[in-house]
Structure 1
Amino acid sequence: MTENYQHILALVFAVKEINENAKILPNITLGFNIYDSHLNARWTYQSALQLISPKNKPFPNYNCDLQDSLVALIEGLYSEISYEIPSIFNAYRIPQFLYASAPIIKDETQFLTTYQMTPNESHQYKGILQLLLHFKWTWIAFFAADAANLEWFKKFMFPMFSQSGICFSFMDSFTNLGYLSDRGRYWIWQQEIFDKIMDTTANVLVFNGDTRSMFVLRNLLDIPAYFHTAQKAKGKVWIFTAQMVFKWYSGPRACDIEILQGALSIGMHTRELPGFRQFLLDRNPYRNKEDGFIRDFWTDVFGCAFPESLPRSEGKDVCTGEERLESLPAHYFPRSVTGHSYSIYNAVYAVAHALHVMYSSTSESRAKMEGRRGRILDHHPWKLHHFLKHVSFNNSAGDMVSFHQNGELIGASDVINWVTFPNQSFFRVKVGKMDPQVPSNECLTVNEDAIAWHRSFNQVQPISLCNEHCRSGFSKKVKEGEPFCCYDCIPCPEGEISSHSDMDSCFKCPDDEYPNKERNRCMAKTVSFLSYEEPLGISLVIGALFFSLVTLLMLGTFMKHHDTPIVRANNRDLSYALLFSLLLCFLSALLFIGRPHKVVCLLRQTAFGIIFSVVVSCVLAKTFTVIVAFMATKPGSRMRKWVGKKVAITIVLSCSLIQALICALWLAMYPPFPDADMHSVIEEMVLQCNEGSPAMFYCALGYMGFLAIASFWVAFLARKLPDSFNEAKFITFSMLVFCSVWLTFVPTYLSTKGKYTVAVEIFSILASSAGLLVFIFSPKCYMILLWPELNHREQLSRRNQRRHFFPIVADSGPNPNLRRNRQAKRPVLYSVHSWD
């Protein structure tokens, strides 16, 4: 892996700068040993034991070499070994710097001497979560290199992701799918994983692993090249943790990496180090002979061979040393400092600054430094930890380097976008930054325009959802048995809205607003009441005034002909009272039209109830007078004493007084008041009079109905009494209309809404009053105005066989006058049974 050569050079460059800087560790020279782990656990353990043993002798704890004092260890291991190696050095309290992998900490006591130069797992996942939320990716898949990482993620990170609205298509690991169990099925195993990844509907896959995992992944994604029947690779957005980086490595066959185009990763923050680029380009195998790695590197990247190896490398050009490193592709030899190289550079400087502070802290330390250099750290390497935990400095790039008390590097992380090309080359682009020290909603900044997505997305930001967004006007309904990110979209119920997409539930508008047709916005309600300006109000006003005028004309006619038999029949004063009450009924309808006010609301129902009670009481009194008058004509009848004005007045006053008491109690206890009905009509705010107590309203209405039914029943019994001026028939018809109107009023009143409720009551008042007016008084006015010659007592006396109280039956026998009158189509009067 040629990129790893830059890590070595970063170490060399940092040590070279420190040794040449007189301000840091004067007269002290730093040195280093480099061990290649080869991704092999056995070799790594062997190298670790050599560091604490005499040279070429594997005897830990017996190192007596005063010149090679082990100051610190800088590790770039894969996750399994990086968890085990610290346990070896922990007993010696030797500082260890991890730059390539931040292991999962199971026992914090094992990592007391460890300093993490990379963001730990928790911080990385918090950054990944912010990245998912930024792009609104809620449907993802998770893959881990090993089962331990997977279980740790499920236990500690999964709840945080779920609470933020992220759910998973699947969560799995290589080891769970048989990576280590059956190497004989290796290619079949790879195809199964490939199918699992490509079959998921999630367009975003979060991958946790290390350098070794990247090798496996790159081979894994090259399955279509090996199995021509395998399904084609689909474009996905890969999100890698910091330790998973692209590396070019030489081999018999380069894997196709185009499928990883557009991948994102949370990497170590880097800045260009002054002089480091030129230091890299100046490397040469003939000038830097002390470099034990440069020849292997040179032969790999330039494909040449050195003279001493030519017999074994036939067909290759000779490495002349004139080859130019700047001509190499960036993925062979990156000239910009990588995250791992930057971490190594900072780790070396952290050790140097801590040593410098420790040596300079006391005069005793200075004396020891001058007298017996090298012996102090040989016996007391653990003293360095105190200074490392408090070290703080600016590196040559201007970045602050310091550690938390738990040994984690304080600093930001970069968001890296990996751009690949068909020739298997690639480069990394910084597209954002994640700073864990600022509030979580501001910790991530991303330049979306700088991101290159996979070609299958046509450079449009990918979408990763379990299903389409629920647009405004709809709410989410979770599918049973599915993750909460998978849901159906259902329309908001009547009267509710959802103003944004993907809302969990709809909500009601404020009382003075209503939902629009799309149910995604609240609109202001219009103020509504039955006004004089609208057609319905004008029609009702005209009707009320018209019947009022008719009533006045009839009252004037009766008063003008007050001495005629027709007017005097059936109690003239009751007729006047009834006409005047009907006039007030028609005019009371006007109280229901217009904007409600406090006084109007107090008068509306009470005035209507009392006036109508007077009207019905007058009708009842008139009907009672008819029956009493007929019964009083019988010889020896005791009913004569009930004939007269006093009885009629008593009936009217007593019946009306009861209704007046009901209304007075209503006003005293539950007075009506102006109110606004926000709920009856969705789009309107209806101004109305609140009745205060619906029970009192229906009580007053019920009492009026009781009087009406009583009047109707009495009139019905008296309808066939043989009397010329018998009003019982007309009263029966009028009360039938009256009762019919008010019986239909109740269901209609309850079923209508808004201002039409008031219109129904006005119509009922006008219709019932008009029925009484027309059926009781129009026949009399017809006789008075069109047949005045019959409205004389003398005329009636000649035609009647009996006077006053003895009625003559209409069909008692042949009557030539009746025949002539019928032929003339004139009304015939037979007798008058009651005079006022």
Structure 2
Amino acid sequence: MKLHWQLLMSIGLVYTTAQKLPPCSILDVFEMNSLYKKGDIVLGGIFEISVKIISPDLSFRVKPEQWKCDGFDVAIFQRAQAMVFAIEEINRNETLLPNITLGYRLYDNCQKIPTALRAATALFAGLDDVKEEFDCYGSPPVLAIIGDPASTHSIAISRIVSLFRIPMVSYYATCSCLSNKQEFPSFFRTIPSDTFQIKAMIRILKHYKWTWVGALAGDDDYGQNAVKLFIEEVKTFGCISFTETIPKVITQSRLLQIVDRIKRSTAKVIVVLSSRVDFTPVAIEVVRQNITGRQWIASEAWATSVALATKENFACLGGTIGVAIRRGEIPGFQNFLLQVHPDVNPNTRLLVQFWETMFGCSFQGGTHGQNVSVDHLICTGYENISSTKTGYSDVSQLRGSYNIYKAVYALAHALHNLMSCESGKGPFENHTCPNITSVQPWQLFHYLKKVNFSNHLGERIMFDENGDPPAIYDIMSWQKDEHGEVRVKTVGLFDESAGAGNDLMLKEDELFWNFDFGMVPESVCSKSCRPGSRKATRKREPVCCFDCVPCADGEISSGINSIECVKCPADFWSNPSRTQCLPKEIEFLSYGDPMGITLTTVSLFGVCLSICVLVVFIIYRNTPVVKANNSELSFLLLVSLTFCFLCALCFIGQPTDLTCILRHIVFGISFVLCVSCILVKTIVVIVAFKATLPGNNMMKWFGVSQQRGTIFLFTLIQSIICIIWLSTAPPSPVKNTKYQNEKIIFECDNGSIVGFSSVLGYIGLLACTCFAIAFLSRNLPDTFNEAKFITFSMLLFCAVWISFIPAYISSPGKYTVAVEVFAILASSFGLLLAIFSPKCFIILLKPELNNKKSILGKVNPK
């Protein structure tokens, strides 16, 4: 880079020689507000001391006049004095830069980029009218520049000074774009970039679960780059309700449009990424319209603004949370500020302007300031600064001034390391260390990158690979003190180096919330979906705006704001609140169930009743009534009915492989045996009637052996059907969820529909045959009137099983089994009562009729 500097000087020499002018002649000089002191090494500084500028008439007909600054801010002048104080403190230090005196040249940029560029050009090019030829070599006018505070200014200036590797250390420019070392290689700063400021804001938003926020940004590099980063970060956890850009020159219509957008938005939290000057008109209009119920998040540019934190603004802006530059203490700085005295000469124009503005007077010989009282009081230079109370002498909130103090010391330590170098080491030609007259900016730049020391507060001063310092912010809260005065209070700290989860430290009990009951505000587009529901986004609205839809049956969501409901496993079902999967209730017709108890009781009653009838028939087996009705078939029928009642018990209880097989086998064979006995009894009645006719000898063809064989044959056919069914697709227990999703119906699967239908169909065929034969023989003489009872019993039997089919198909769960058991019991009772109750009535209650005479008497013709 020394070659670059020499090349620039050579170009100047060639140009001036061609014009026959003295070497390195300055063609014109900028008249700017400055503060200057000589030294072995001079540091430059650019500050925003005046709040506005009076621009000249650019008619292009005559040479334009100089730009003039206006609105001197004594509070900001403190920052320039911080640089002066730090340099003088270093000059008194015997260990840091011994035998070297630092000087300074400070300029006011008037908050305008043209003036800032003129100041920067004056710093690295010099202002003397004529330089001797040898002066064009050696060190440039300044080795480094502290400033500019504005990001936009710093971008423009850094593009120029970076060409010569002149270090530029800003104390207030936060644009993250300045961390790009490809574009701004020699730029450093003692204030964290907006990347970290945005991280601090995002951590605050996440801490309070504010997912629905609005954003205001200044119309400059600082605001636009910051809001771009902010939007990207918010999208990872929330949504932006609106974004508005605050123009540098704002019209009333545009101002009303911005404020109306704030008023109409449902977002309760609004982040403002702009300078105090830009935001002030918006704040004034917000207060004028009395827009309350908003939580303002302030960027470091206005988080500690005393001009905005006032009683008049407190109703609307009270409780503002701000991210502020780390506050520091500078020992002896206040005494230095109070001991300043003016020196009326061109090199101390800023000091003269400060004095005239502070005391509203002017020095003899002309006014140097722009804010002088109209009565033209004469300044003596001996006015007492201690008697004033302004932002200039207030050192309770040293933030910008502290950053300047750190910047000066960073440069001083870099210079110290540079001047203490060892030969053969460092970025020097011919491996020799420079002397004080030949130090180049690029050499200082090399050492500035490696600066690492702790200051008097124990804070580590260093720069990362992007020229950024460690990111530490104070978290501020606007609130009133015990006297009712508005104060900007430190309520926390953001330290990016502490790591995720520990970077934000807040004193929750010291925060002030300007909302009803002092509650923390809630800023969400839609309230969180509780467990048991899921988020359903609204059409054409941000993802943060959604409806909460309850999970469907069998699905759950256990977390807040679940995107989807999770389906429960097959054997589980959701609880009523849809927050947990519970094991499904297993349902079957159990012995403990009221219905199961009832059916079991009825079944056992039927068994007992059959056995009692059987016992009666055995006891009275020799009586005419029993003999007349074929006692052997009656005994077999009663036994089969007993099994019919018992088979009902197989349908009750938890299904197993054994019970599933037994219930259908016992059911099928028992009923076939029962119906076979009735069918044979019916045939015996008919044959017996026919045998009483003269010449008929049919009874010998259907004797006891034939009766037994017929019953055996009918039962054998059913047994074969059952064997085929069990060998191909036997019944087995299954968990059925077809009818009730929330329950598991534990039942027996028939295995083969054909097998089950064949068993029922065969029983039905025998029953229908029996019914038909009995119906045809119902008009036989009274002696053989058992056919009437058989007809009635078969009618009941068929009616029960015909009605069973639709009831069986339509009944869900355990009621399917209950219907089947009911059909078994009903048909069994029908057969038992219809056939045997008349006989038992005669045997037990009318014994006088239980004789051969009575029976024979019934067959006598009338």
Letter in 1 for 2:776: K
Check 1:717–1:468 CA distance in 2 against 1; reply closer, same or farther (3 A cut). Answer: same
Task: Check conservation: 1:566, 1:725, Cα contact below 8 A.
Answer: no
Task: Check conservation: 2:304, 2:324, Cα contact below 8 A.
Answer: no
1:123 aligned residue (180, 183, 196) = 196
Q: CA deviation at 1:791?
A: 4.6
Match of 1:652 in 2: 715
Unaligned runs of 5+ in 1: 802-814, 817-836
Match of 1:432 in 2: 492
Match of 1:239 in 2: 297
1:285 to 2:337 alignment: no
1:70 to 2:142 alignment: yes
**Equivalent-residue separation in structure 2 for 1:716 and 1:131 (angstroms):** 89
Check 1:54–1:742 CA distance in 2 against 1; reply closer, same or farther (3 A cut). Answer: same
For structure 1, which segment, 737-746 or 340-349, has the greater mean C-alpha deviation from structure 2 after superposition?
737-746
**Equivalent-residue separation in structure 2 for 1:732 and 1:563 (angstroms):** 28
1:203 aligned residue (241, 265, 268) = 268
**Equivalent-residue separation in structure 2 for 1:524 and 1:2 (angstroms):** 76
**Equivalent-residue separation in structure 2 for 1:495 and 1:371 (angstroms):** 80
1:169-318 correspondence runs (5 A) = 169-175=241-247, 186-210=251-275, 214-223=276-285, 231-247=289-305, 256=313, 259-273=316-330, 275-276=331-332, 278-279=334-335, 282-285=338-341, 293=350, 296-297=353-354, 300=357, 304-305=360-361, 308=364, 312-313=374-375
CA offsets per residue over residues 698-746 of structure 1, 9 Å max, x none? 5554334213321332133222313322154133223224304632542
**Equivalent-residue separation in structure 2 for 1:147 and 1:716 (angstroms):** 103
**Equivalent-residue separation in structure 2 for 1:187 and 1:351 (angstroms):** 45
**Equivalent-residue separation in structure 2 for 1:405 and 1:434 (angstroms):** 21
Check 1:779–1:71 CA distance in 2 against 1; reply closer, same or farther (3 A cut). Answer: farther
1:739 to 2:801 alignment: yes
Match of 1:712 in 2: 767
Number of corresponding residues: 763
**Equivalent-residue separation in structure 2 for 1:57 and 1:728 (angstroms):** 142
Task: Check conservation: 1:495, 1:514, Cα contact below 8 A.
Answer: yes
1:453 to 2:516 alignment: no
Task: Check conservation: 1:140, 1:169, Cα contact below 8 A.
Answer: yes
**Equivalent-residue separation in structure 1 for 2:529 and 2:452 (angstroms):** 51
**Equivalent-residue separation in structure 1 for 2:573 and 2:424 (angstroms):** 83
Letter in 2 for 1:233: I
Match of 2:123 in 1: 51
CA offsets per residue over residues 293-318 of structure 1, 9 Å max, x none? 455445656x5536757985458998
Task: Check conservation: 1:97, 1:116, Cα contact below 8 A.
Answer: yes
CA offsets per residue over residues 465-511 of structure 1, 9 Å max, x none? 22444445544332222112222333443444555554434445678
Match of 1:809 in 2: none
Aligned residue for 1:800, secondary structure, equals: coil
Q: CA deviation at 1:618?
A: 2.0
Q: CA deviation at 1:44?
A: 0.9
Check 1:285–1:259 CA distance in 2 against 1; reply closer, same or farther (3 A cut). Answer: farther
Check 1:231–1:429 CA distance in 2 against 1; reply closer, same or farther (3 A cut). Answer: closer
CA offsets per residue over residues 25-56 of structure 1, 9 Å max, x none? 22222222211111111111111111121324
**Equivalent-residue separation in structure 2 for 1:69 and 1:365 (angstroms):** 26
Q: CA deviation at 1:191?
A: 2.1
1:339 to 2:411 alignment: no
1:587 aligned residue (637, 646, 649) = 646
**Equivalent-residue separation in structure 1 for 2:344 and 2:820 (angstroms):** 108
Check 1:494–1:149 CA distance in 2 against 1; reply closer, same or farther (3 A cut). Answer: farther
CA offsets per residue over residues 249-291 of structure 1, 9 Å max, x none? 79xx999576332222333333434x15544564443799997
1:672 to 2:672 alignment: no
1:620 aligned residue (675, 688, 691) = 675
**Equivalent-residue separation in structure 1 for 2:303 and 2:822 (angstroms):** 84
1:553 aligned residue (609, 612, 625) = 612
Aligned residue for 1:558, secondary structure, equals: helix
Match of 1:142 in 2: 215
Match of 1:821 in 2: none
Task: Check conservation: 2:146, 2:404, Cα contact below 8 A.
Answer: yes
1:594-609 correspondence runs (5 A) = 596=654, 601-609=656-664
Aligned residue for 2:521, secondary structure, equals: coil
Match of 1:804 in 2: none
For structure 1, which segment, 128-137 or 657-666, has the greater mean C-alpha deviation from structure 2 after superposition?
657-666
Letter in 2 for 1:707: Y
Q: CA deviation at 1:637?
A: 10
Task: Check conservation: 1:284, 1:321, Cα contact below 8 A.
Answer: no
Task: Check conservation: 1:708, 1:738, Cα contact below 8 A.
Answer: no
Letter in 1 for 2:219: D
Aligned residue for 1:484, secondary structure, equals: coil
Match of 1:832 in 2: none
Match of 2:543 in 1: 484
Letter in 2 for 1:746: Y
1:94 aligned residue (166, 179, 183) = 166
1:11 to 2:67 alignment: no
1:464 to 2:523 alignment: yes
Task: Check conservation: 2:227, 2:273, Cα contact below 8 A.
Answer: no
After superposition, the CA RMSD in angstroms is: 4.3
TM-score for the superposition, normalised by structure 2: 0.77
1:782 to 2:838 alignment: no
Task: Check conservation: 2:356, 2:379, Cα contact below 8 A.
Answer: no
TM-score for the superposition, normalised by structure 1: 0.79
1:656-805 correspondence runs (5 A) = 656-663=719-726, 665-666=728-729, 671-672=732-733, 680=740, 682=742, 689=746, 691=748, 694-696=749-751, 698=753, 701-718=756-773, 719-721=775-777, 722-723=779-780, 724-726=785-787, 727-740=789-802, 742-749=804-811, 751-752=812-813, 759-792=818-851, 795-800=854-859
Q: CA deviation at 1:423?
A: 12
Aligned residue for 1:32, secondary structure, equals: strand
Match of 2:14 in 1: none
CA offsets per residue over residues 441-466 of structure 1, 9 Å max, x none? 44322222222233x54532122122
2:231 aligned residue (148, 151, 158) = 158
Check 1:97–1:762 CA distance in 2 against 1; reply closer, same or farther (3 A cut). Answer: farther
1:133 to 2:206 alignment: yes
Task: Check conservation: 1:530, 1:593, Cα contact below 8 A.
Answer: yes
Q: CA deviation at 1:762?
A: 4.3
Aligned residue for 2:449, secondary structure, equals: helix
For structure 1, which segment, 155-164 or 133-142, has the greater mean C-alpha deviation from structure 2 after superposition?
155-164
Letter in 1 for 2:711: A
**Equivalent-residue separation in structure 1 for 2:191 and 2:665 (angstroms):** 90
Q: CA deviation at 1:64?
A: 3.1
Aligned residue for 2:490, secondary structure, equals: strand
Task: Check conservation: 1:570, 1:622, Cα contact below 8 A.
Answer: no
Task: Check conservation: 1:591, 1:604, Cα contact below 8 A.
Answer: yes
Q: CA deviation at 1:196?
A: 2.0
Q: CA deviation at 1:420?
A: 7.0
Check 1:541–1:716 CA distance in 2 against 1; reply closer, same or farther (3 A cut). Answer: closer
State the identity as a percent. Answer: 27
**Equivalent-residue separation in structure 2 for 1:640 and 1:112 (angstroms):** 128
CA offsets per residue over residues 813-833 of structure 1, 9 Å max, x none? xx65xxxxxxxxxxxxxxxxx
Check 1:778–1:661 CA distance in 2 against 1; reply closer, same or farther (3 A cut). Answer: farther
Aligned residue for 2:767, secondary structure, equals: helix
1:411 to 2:471 alignment: yes
CA offsets per residue over residues 192-224 of structure 1, 9 Å max, x none? 2222222222111122223xxx21321222237
